Amino acid sequence: MRILYVDIDTLRPDHLGCYGYHRPTSPNIDALAADAIRFERVYASDVPCLPSRTALATGTFGTRNGVVSHGGLAADLRPEGPLREFMGERMRTSWAWRLYWAGYHTASISSFPFRHSASWWNHGFMEAMNLMRGMGAERADQVLPAAIDWLDRHGQADRWFLHLHLWDPHTPYNTPDDYGNPFAGDSVPAWHTEEVRQRNWDLPGPHSAQEPWGFRPDEWGPPPSRHPWNAASMDDVKAIFDGYDVGIHYADDAVGAVLHRLDELGVLDETAVLVASDHGEAFGELGVYSDHQGADEVTAHIPAILRWPGLAPRVEPGLHYHLDVGATLVDLAGGIVPEDVWDGRSLAAPLRAGTVAVGRENLVLTQGAWTCQRGVRFGDHLYLRTWHDGYHCWPDEMLFDVRTDPHQTDDQAERRPDLVAGARTILEGWLAEQLGPGAPDDSTGDAYGIDPIETVLAEGGPYHTRGHLPAYLTRLRETGRAHWADEITRRHQTEADPATWKATGASRRRLVADLMGQPRPS
């Protein structure tokens, strides 16, 4: 068996033709999906980039492995402590190691471990190639030659696993200008009307309609031609959608080229192919543009398309974590799934039998890099609990019917207190199971550890928001949003005042030390 995992960064399923998108963004992926198992409701347990791939690499939720953010203590794996063996458990139970131990030649072509200082992604990979340009602007044309070369050298051999990471849909949208715009004549999705744009124009927060690059329009320097300064008009909104969709099309071309080379090598029909992503992207949902800041539907819902020789094509409708897809792939490949360690559950048995895989009753989703938020996905609904709003001024609790309202425009929390209470109970029970006495990683009888979201809050809030607020408050007032500046100041008084922020630094460090059970710094 040969296995190719195409990991397309920041890919929303509803922007792919095989998931019903009105634009032809993905002809090669769509053709693959026609002969594959297409999972309709797969969610990344932890978002965005670093938490999502860490969860996949370790098979565990960020609540257990410790990684829920992009910086600070919650961006590193929890230490295994005095019970760590010569070869640590994180290595022995890693996703790639499970395949290596099953006899596969494992290789990863990805800049992810460099970009996020995430060496643990390479646990179990015999080869790891980094093609990073700057902090992450490598395009498919810069990655594809390495992938083709690897296939030319190894493709006809048996029992290999290749992870191929394509960055293209991720902001900033920088597909080469000479590629053109296949969607120049296509409308934006019907849900994003001028009314939506006008409502969003007044909203605050990084990557909002007035600053879709971060905290100010030029935060990363002059934008590429495909990424406008803001969403001041529907033409600008169209440019944002087009920039993202062209990036998908560019990545899809690379997928087609890789599949074509496998066909030329005579091994395509004998190669399993998984196409998936680490997280999605917002285009005005909850006021966010061109980024991934919530534990919500558009950020956590990802595509998962698995073509496996011998398995009949089908649509799999159940609720699943991306960890379940990872466990399924290892199981199908003949590897041993460490069920006593992993949070992912294999679906291999029902897929082999051709029966419907039983989905989970609910999912809990975590975001700690841009906001501190958890989502509970159950039935047709998504409940969001927010501890730090990332300066978006969201309510502490929100509820959406994502079947009828996938773009989260109608908050039903006040109208459905029964559903809110039920979701709250699910979340509280899940946290107790994850972190309380008797939790999966607890070998002492005491609580395994503190919730890493609490660590993020103790450090001063989400990594990407730290230190930005004083200047952003000025910008809000200069752009007609003084009312939001006042509200954010009320919510985040310590972060709003530089002097107070500096003065409370020692207390924050002591609080983090207390949470981690370490001696307090002097």
One DSSP character per residue, 275-336 reads: EE-S---EESGGG-EEE--SSSHHHHEEEEEEE-TTSPPEEEEEEEEHHHHHHHHHHHTTPP
Question: How many Å apart are CA 184 and CA 191, to the nearest integer?
Answer: 18
Residue 518 tokens, joined: 């370490």
Check: CB of residue 298 under 8 Å from CB of residue 15: no
Ranges of beta strands (E only) in 156-241 are 160-166
Pick from 522, 517, 385, 516: which is nearest to 72 by CA?
516
Q: Are 9 and 169 in contact (CB under 8 A)?
A: yes
- 65 in the Ramachandran plot: left (φ > 0), alpha (ψ -120 to 50) or beta? alpha
The tokens for 375 are: 């989502």
**How far is Cα 292 from Cα 47, in angstroms, rounded to an integer?**
8
| Site of tokens 């979701």 | 423
DSSP state of 16: S
Residue 76 · residue 67 · CB < 8 Å: yes
Give residue 438's pLDDT: 54
Nearest to 123 by CA among 106, 102, 103, 147: 106
Residue 57 to residue 114: CA distance in whole angstroms: 15
CB distance 131 to 142 below 8 Å: yes
The ranges of the chain annotated as CATH 3.40.720.10 are: 2-77+91-363
Strands 372-378 and 381-388: antiparallel
| DSSP one-letter code for 207 | T
In a structure prediction context, what are the per-residue pLDDT tens digits for the chain, which is 522 residues long? 999 999 999 999 999 999 999 999 999 999 999 999 999 999 999 999 999 999 999 999 999 999 999 999 999 999 888 888 999 999 999 999 999 999 999 999 999 999 999 999 999 999 999 988 766 678 999 999 999 999 999 999 999 999 999 999 999 899 999 999 999 999 999 999 999 999 999 999 999 999 999 998 888 777 788 989 999 999 999 999 999 999 999 999 999 999 999 999 999 999 999 999 999 999 999 999 999 999 999 999 999 999 999 999 999 999 999 999 999 999 999 999 999 999 999 999 999 999 988 999 999 999 999 999 999 999 999 999 999 999 999 999 999 999 999 999 999 999 999 999 999 999 999 999 998 765 555 444 334 578 999 999 999 999 999 999 999 999 999 999 999 999 999 999 999 988 877 777 777 777 777 766 654 443
* pLDDT (tens digit per residue) in 169-215: 999 899 999 999 999 999 999 999 999 999 999 999 999 999 999 99
User: Could you tell me the end-to-end alpha-carbon distance of the chain, in angstroms, rounded to an integer?
Assistant: 57
Across 407-438, b (16+ Cβ under 10 Å) vs e yields: bbeebbbeebeebbebbeebbeebbeebbeee
Cα gap 15→190, rounded to integer Å: 13
Name the amino acid, one letter, at 227: H
Q: Is 166 helix (H, G, I), strand (E, B) or coil?
A: strand
Count the Cβ atoms, other than its own, within 10 Å of residue 92.
Answer: 15
Tokens describing residue 417: 């207190």
Q: What are phi and psi of 450, to 5 degrees?
A: -80, 155
Are 29 and 16 in contact, with CB atoms under 8 Å apart?
yes
Name the 3-class secondary structure at 208. strand
Q: Distances in Å between the alpha carbon of 212 and those of 200, 304, 321, 380, 444?
A: 11, 28, 29, 30, 47
Greatest CA separation for the chain: 66
| Topology of the domain covering 2-77+91-363 | Alkaline Phosphatase, subunit A (3.40.720)
Pairing, β 105-109 against β 127-129: parallel
Rounded to an integer, what distance in angstroms lies between the CA atom of residue 383 and that of residue 327?
A: 26
CATH number of the structural domain 366-516: 3.30.1120.10
Neighbours of 360 (CB within 10 A): 16
**Helices then strands (H, E): number in the chain?**
19, 15
Sequence ranges of the chain with CATH classification 3.30.1120.10? 366-516
Q: Which two tokens stand for residue 476?
A: 């809000």
Question: What letter does residue 394 receive in the DSSP assignment?
Answer: -
Sign of torsion over alpha carbons 34, 37, 41, 43: negative
Question: 366 φ, ψ to 5°?
Answer: -130, 135
